[in-house]
Amino acid sequence: MTPPGHRITIGPAEGPVRVERDGRVVADSGRALALRETGCPVRLYLPPEDVRTELLVPSGTTTHCPFKGTASYWSLPGRPDAVWAYLDPKPEVAAIGGYFCFHGPDEG
């Protein structure tokens, strides 16, 4: 449960989402979800069917969010921990379960 004043909403992203790394398409989706969370940038989560998961290398890194749960991370060539997913998210954000989120080009 989120504390008063903290809010998370999930809905369809506006338009298609395409992720490229070194000229290679890593993900391309018209079904991404936009997660909006108080105090955080909007994050786009893409269904695994729209991500070239064969390009992702599990990193062993995990982080914990008290509102979403434990995130697992994957790396791309030259970009450690570039991608994460909540494989078993909290019920309030179940819609993003198993969906992949990518750090932006200026992050992480």
pTM score of the predicted model: 0.92
Report the half-sphere exposure of 65 (CA within 13 A, side-chain side).
Answer: 20
Q: Is residue 107 included in any domain, yes or no?
A: no
What is the number of structural domains in the chain? Answer: 1
User: 43 near 33, Cβ under 8 Å?
Assistant: no
How sure is the predictor about 2, in pLDDT bands with cuts at 50, 70 and 90? low
Q: Is residue 14 included in any domain, yes or no?
A: yes
Tokens of 76: 């791309």
Average of per-residue pLDDT across 32-40: 96
Predicted confidence (pLDDT) per residue in 67-76, tens digit: 999 999 999 9
Q: Name the residue among 71, 108, 72 with its Cα closest to residue 93.
A: 71
Answer whether residue 1 shows pLDDT above 70: no
Q: Is residue 75 included in any domain, yes or no?
A: yes
How sure is the predictor about 104, in pLDDT bands with cuts at 50, 70 and 90? confident
Report the half-sphere exposure of 43 (CA within 13 A, side-chain side).
Answer: 21
Report the half-sphere exposure of 24 (CA within 13 A, side-chain side).
Answer: 11
Answer whether residue 3 shows pLDDT above 90: no
Q: Which 3 state secondary structure label does DSSP give 48?
A: helix
Q: What is the rounded distance in angstroms from the CA atom of residue 76 to the CA atom of residue 10? A: 26
The CATH number of the domain holding residue 84 is 2.170.150.40
Q: Which domain holds residue 54?
A: 8-102
Q: Is residue 108 included in any domain, yes or no?
A: no
